[in-house]
Chains A and B, each alone.
Chain A
């Protein structure tokens, strides 16, 4: 199974003015009032529960959907639940111009594809990428398109370790493919 190619319906995280929301922090994604939760099944309904305008996201999203966010998505806390809540909803991938560093690692390690693309800002601004569109992404080559509009763009190709972890499934499974992690 190739886990580095993705296709799905997108949700574009816009504010009330129709602008891509930047710097969405982990307390807006998965609020600290729920940090005690350790069961994945309980996390899905809490996704984006503190993001103005998007609190009903868990009831709207379907498995296979793709999230498109503004730059520095997942700023803030190290909480894995801010990634796990989207895994619980069955999202296929998250795309953003950039991610919070810890968030990015957490997603990679959990096997949730996170892809970076500077092109997103312009596509969204020009109305060439809106919620409900279907996108296709080849994570290895970086080729991507808004399928229903025949609009092509590029994402940063997956790094080798990111692709390896995705193919394995997650960091633990990847680790088991190594004799001695770090000293292969």
Chain B
């Protein structure tokens, strides 16, 4: 019997027999912890393993939640991790670097066919480069820091084929929101996914990051988009300095189910509160008045995302009184935005430009809402109370840009 992508990656990292439902011991190539989760990883580690060293070639800290520390508690937590890292010679991608999962991709650490864990539920973003990334809690990660392994139940894989071509105005986020609407939180629950079809094959790395990040919101374990062309190979090589040869599924791989969807003519989409699966056409929500917008997050924080927004915002101003917050995913993205004039265009349009990090998701960075405030965000979650007492609509960068100009939810066609 053939194997799916995830089964191949797991098999390459385990001596156990890999089949769906089997619990195997999995070797972990890269083990990481953030400023969130990290402090407890350190506490557990020191309590359980004392001075025994983690492997410095494979163990990293990535600070992105509250960067630089905006509260005394986070300052303490980060320093606790830094001290531990210094004692054991571990590398810290510190508060200047941005979203940890993205930094691990940029550094070539999360490479195709690798296994990577960290205290980030969107670590499965790494599926975008064919790596098996998993978010885990601080107990798991502390154990992984020391042993380099974890137990894992091999999930079944679902093959999702998307037929048809979306409308040219639709972004990778619109396609992702479409999948959230169609798949909900049941179709991929506790399973891996392979996304195929013409609309997926053409996705850039940024688009793949957007798609794979929100497999978490579909309740899935990880998603891969195995079809790609030479442009993607070149893009990954240029960014990471490593060749790109991800495992492909066997033709006779065994899938738990086959799902076929049709995205023909798909336009801009928006996920309305209270959950990322409440997806509607932007045209159905045009009267929603907005106070603020957010561009960034691990889901839409690449250069290409800001460039798409800047194309609509350049030479214009956001609606008076509207707050548009911009948070690049990483320092490298920030550098690109500076060099390409994108930051200038966003700044002149009235955007508030903030340093890289996990904005839009949690207390600690930009993108919070006050009671009664309504925001549109390129982030990935809009559960009640998550970003504050306001309400959050999720959309792609073009929708956020167009909405920022008009002060109501709007699609790119409304401002062209």
Contact = CB atoms under 8 A, between A and B. Distances in A.
Interface of A: 23, 25-28, 31-33, 35-36, 38, 50, 52, 72, 75-80, 83, 98, 100-102, 105-106, 109-110, 159-161, 170-172, 175, 181-183
Nearest to B221: A101
A80 B138 contact: yes
Interface string B240-275: 000000000000000000000000000000000001
Given A35-B363, A100-B219, 10 more contacts: A35-B65, A75-B185, A75-B219, A76-B381, A78-B137, A106-B137, A106-B139, A110-B137, A110-B139, A181-B147
A34 B134 CA distance: 23
Nearest to A35: B36
Nearest to B277: A23
Counting chain A CB atoms within 10 Å of each CB, the highest count among B138, B142, B153, B362 belongs to B138
Contacts of B77: 36, 38
Interface in B1-21: 14-15
A78 B121 contact: yes
A160 B22 CA distance: 11
20 contacts: A31-B385, A38-B43, A50-B385, A72-B189, A72-B219, A78-B37, A79-B137, A80-B137, A98-B189, A98-B190, A100-B219, A101-B219, A102-B134, A105-B137, A159-B23, A172-B44, A172-B143, A181-B147, A182-B14, A182-B147
Contacts of B217: 75
B205 interface: no
B143 A109 contact: yes
Nearest to A24: B383
A106 B142 CA distance: 12
Contacts of B23: 159-161
Contacts of A27: 381, 383, 385-386
Nearest to B69: A36
B361 interface: yes
Number of chain B interface residues as a range: 35 or more
Nearest to A76: B121
Contact of A32 (B142, B384, B386): B386
Contacts, number: 122
Contact of B48 (A35, A36, A172): A172
Contact of A77 (B27, B121, B221, B363): B121
Contacts of A170: 139
A182 B43 contact: no
Nearest to B40: A38
B149 interface: yes
A171 B139 CA distance: 7
Interface in B187-207: 189-190
Contacts of A105: 136-137, 140
A142 B9 CA distance: 32
Contacts of A72: 185, 189, 219
B120 interface: yes
B84 interface: no
A99 B31 CA distance: 24
Nearest to A22: B185
A172 B139 contact: yes
Contacts of B275: 23
B330 to A, nearest CB: 20
Contacts of B364: 32, 35
Contact of A109 (B26, B137, B219): B137
Given A98-B190, A109-B137, A78 B384 contact: no
Interface in B31-56: 36-37, 39-40, 43-44, 48
Given A28-B383, A35-B36, A38-B77, A80 B139 contact: yes
A28 to B, nearest CB: 7
B87 interface: no
A80 B383 contact: no
A36 B147 CA distance: 26
Interface in B98-152: 119-121, 123, 134-140, 142-143, 147, 149, 151
A9 B17 CA distance: 40
A28 B25 contact: no
